[in-house]
Amino acid sequence: MKFKITSEYYPTGDQPEAIAELSKGVEKGLPYQTLLGVTGSGKTFTMANVIQQVQRPTLILSHNKTLAAQLYAEFKSFFPDNSVQYFVSYYDYYQPEAYIPSSDKYIEKDLMINDRIEQLRLSTVAALLSGRRDVVVISSVSCIYGMGNPRDFEQNVIRISVGQRIARNAFLRRLVDSLYSRTDIPPVNGQFRVKGDTVDIMLSFEDIQLRVIFWGDEIEKIQTVDPQDGTVLDNHEGFNIYPANIFVTSKERMASAIDQITLDLGAQCEFFRGEAREAEAQRLYERVTYDVEMMKELGHCTGIENYSRYFDGRKPGMRPFCLLDYFPKDYLTIIDESHVTLPQIRAMYGGDLSRKMNLVEYGFRLPAALDNRPLKFEEFEELTNQAIYVSATPGDYELMQTEGVFTEQIIRPTGLLDPEIEIHPCMGQIDHLMEEIQKRIEAGERTLVTTLTKRMAEELDAHLRKWGVSSAYIHSDVDTLDRIQILEDLRNGVYDVLIGVNLLREGLDLPQVSLVAILDADKEGFLRNRRSLVQTAGRAARNVNGKVIMYADKMTDSIRMTIEETEHRRAKQMAYNREHGITPRQIVKTSTAADLLDQYEPSAESKVRTAWRKDKVASHPVHIEPRPYIEVEQPDIVAADPVVEYMGASDMEAAIEKLKSAMVEAAKRTDFLEAARLRDEMLSLQERLDAVAADSK
């Protein structure tokens, strides 16, 4: 099946030129291209159109789960008839194994796996191995982490057909080899149940129950069944059953791996004893021997990923297999927010290596653990066939790869212009700022102020409050658990002014903000370079009255380039608006966390409504006039795991308590980022529980 956009939108502004240029570049075989697209210009829609034009399997990389979820929802709506997959880390909580020599403290691995996300990861692999070309995978940097050998995975796919001669027990053994487990109760994902000549299999990669009916040693029927009521949904002539786990291997490979692990254990213990490090030798011997016994008895052990090299058949130092190995050779890579995503990919290997080195050096793991790692950046480059970098402020690396050439997309379908930039001297800047803030308060709008230091932010907040201005500040010392609430209060008018350091750059898109004030804009450095100034100024680009004031006594190169870039964009945007008679209009927030959740996992009632609507449309087609695509604002609060199953009230209550406990534990460890993520997810579930309770009344 070919990619086909199903949408009421049409390309507008400079989107058609961007789509044509990028598509032509892909077809010509250009290895790298850069799309410079301002906030609100419809970059997502452009990406979708490029995919439709080039008809290539596509990987879209995002730098966090929340943005990946947003992209997943949008691409699902653009390509409802194609395979759109979601691939992120399946850990709700993950504490990696570590050893701190200075305090002689060993931290054991602890984790919580989200079964729904794991199912989606398996669905991704199944889609890529199915031979389909119309596959889009939305992924976080999880895609560069180790996975099983794609050859082993494909060899463990069970291909069955009606009339095929295979003994029932032989079929059951093949299911077990593909890591399905037997049960006598209704099966869940990755399990099967046997009743006489009927085998019911709950597939690992989707919520479908497969029923295989035997007549002697022959497959008589293959049916898909509704797992809730047992209704037969469809009859099949053939079916592919994909393994229940991404990490799958053969019995022969397992036996060979255990033998090699034992040999390497002996060699490493001898090495430690040769250096008179008996404690490390004994520790390693006990741990690895225990793991080997577990693998012999159960087929797995805690931390089995540290032995992945043996199961994959890799030599020492070879890169691990990852999701990129499952794509066909001509796939397309699109890297969203590349100025953030690429540095994140580059940093993964170093952080992992430093932790693993301590474990190996002090006898907690074999040296083979070092080969269970994310890709090095150079390896990632080698595996990407063709890449398109998408960013409002492309980094030096992206521009170097494209030799300074980029495709520009700076016209917003709403007609909104880049904000005007005004330079004001530093002398008397606070009094001038107070006057400008008062104007925004009278108009019911908000102000963002960015400072150079935390202390400046706090003192300015105190000063504004002294004069009756409702303000707040955020910086790294503010508890992460409170930041989201502060942003929401700013949106709702509890605060008129928000002051920060560098937390006001990316990911803060508030249409209510009409003024961005940059104090000490002429202090060149990380916080005041061209890229930072452009990003900061962009926070005012969603308001029709957007304005930026830079307080500076001298014109630095960064300020000059920012002004030149902004004036270039404004000129192009205004010319387009005049030509097409467009009046700039305010962006209105339409997306919420609940809306996003419903896009992923609609309820049974929602599915019924959707089916009814489709029937009505089929019988009474209505002509919908195409319209420009307008990027929706990113939701402020969404669950860290946005793809959740609908639950009953009791299930939600249990999940909330579980999340609360995990959040408290994370806070105790001072891991506030993790605690904040868990809190967001807990609040999202609580809102849904309250809504269910209200509906029941």
**From 310-314, 326-330, 584-588, the region with the lowest mean pLDDT:** 584-588
User: Which region holds residue 673: left if phi is over 0, alpha if psi is between -120 and 50, else beta?
Assistant: alpha
Select the more confidently predicted residue: 243 or 675. Answer: 243
Select the more confidently predicted residue: 336 or 651. Answer: 336
DSSP code of 329? T
Select the more confidently predicted residue: 581 or 289. Answer: 289
673 has pLDDT over 80: no
N-term to C-term CA, the chain: 47
- Provide CB contacts within 8 A for 449, sequence distance 6+: 433, 460, 497, 498, 499, 500, 516, 517, 519
Using an 8 Å Cβ cutoff, are 445 and 546 in contact? no
Distance CA 438, CA 441 (A): 5
Distance CA 613, CA 308 (A): 49
Q: Which of 360, 158, 366, 177 is nearest to 254 (CA)?
A: 177
Q: pLDDT band at 668, cuts 50/70/90?
A: low
Upper half-sphere CA count for residue 7 (Cβ side, 13 Å): 22
For residue 3 the two structure tokens come to: 């990619």
Q: pLDDT band at 240, cuts 50/70/90?
A: very high
Upper half-sphere CA count for residue 557 (Cβ side, 13 Å): 3
Amino acid at 297: E
Q: pLDDT tens digits, residue range 448-458?
A: 999 988 889 89
For residue 426 the two structure tokens come to: 């530093």
* Model pLDDT, residue 645: 42
Using an 8 Å Cβ cutoff, are 308 and 146 in contact? yes
609 has pLDDT over 60: no
- Provide CB contacts within 8 A for 671, sequence distance 6+: none
* Model pLDDT, residue 202: 92
Q: pLDDT band at 631, cuts 50/70/90?
A: low
Q: pLDDT tens digits, residue range 22-40?
A: 999 999 999 999 999 887 7
Distance CA 341, CA 391 (A): 10
643 has pLDDT over 50: no
Q: pLDDT tens digits, residue range 40-87?
A: 788 899 999 999 999 999 999 998 776 788 789 889 999 999 999 999
**From 375-379, 437-441, 629-633, the region with the lowest mean pLDDT:** 629-633
For residue 52 the two structure tokens come to: 């439709």
Amino acid at 444: G
For residue 596 the two structure tokens come to: 């996003």
* Model pLDDT, residue 378: 94
Q: pLDDT band at 670, cuts 50/70/90?
A: low
Residue 199 φ then ψ, to 5°: -115, 120
* Model pLDDT, residue 599: 37
Distance CA 461, CA 471 (A): 6
Q: Which of 579, 562, 331, 412 is nearest to 38 (CA)?
A: 412
Using an 8 Å Cβ cutoff, are 352 and 81 in contact? no
633 has pLDDT over 70: no
* Model pLDDT, residue 629: 59
* Model pLDDT, residue 292: 93
* Model pLDDT, residue 89: 85
Distance CA 55, CA 462 (A): 57
* Model pLDDT, residue 635: 41
Distance CA 500, CA 563 (A): 22
Distance CA 117, CA 359 (A): 29
**Average pLDDT of the segment spanning 412-439:** 90
**From 307-316, 549-558, 575-584, 675-684, the region with the lowest mean pLDDT:** 675-684
Q: What is the DSSP string of 253-313?
A: HHHHHHHHHHHHHHHHHHHHHHTT-HHHHHHHHHHHHHHHHHHHHHS--TTGGGGHHHHHT
**Average pLDDT of the segment spanning 582-602:** 50
Q: pLDDT band at 424, cuts 50/70/90?
A: very high
* Model pLDDT, residue 627: 58
Select the more confidently predicted residue: 123 or 477. Answer: 123
**From 309-313, 365-369, 604-608, 682-686, the region with the lowest mean pLDDT:** 604-608
As a whole number, the mean pLDDT across the chain is 83
593 has pLDDT over 90: no
Look up tokens 């419903």; give the residue: 598
Distance CA 530, CA 509 (A): 19
Using an 8 Å Cβ cutoff, are 128 and 57 in contact? yes
Q: What is the DSSP string of 503-571?
A: TTSSS---TTEEEEEETTTTS-SGGGSHHHHHHHHGGGTTSTT-EEEEE-SS--HHHHHHHHHHHHHHH
Look up tokens 């609360």; give the residue: 660
**Average pLDDT of the segment spanning 142-154:** 88
Q: Which of 474, 491, 559, 495 is nearest to 523 (CA)?
A: 559
**Average pLDDT of the segment spanning 584-595:** 51
Burial (CB count <10 Å: 0-12, 13-18, 19+), residue 459: middle
Q: Which of 439, 333, 432, 314 is nearest to 380 (CA)?
A: 333
Radius of gyration of the chain (CA): 28
For residue 9 the two structure tokens come to: 């939108």
Q: Which of 668, 667, 669, 663 is nearest to 685 (CA)?
A: 663
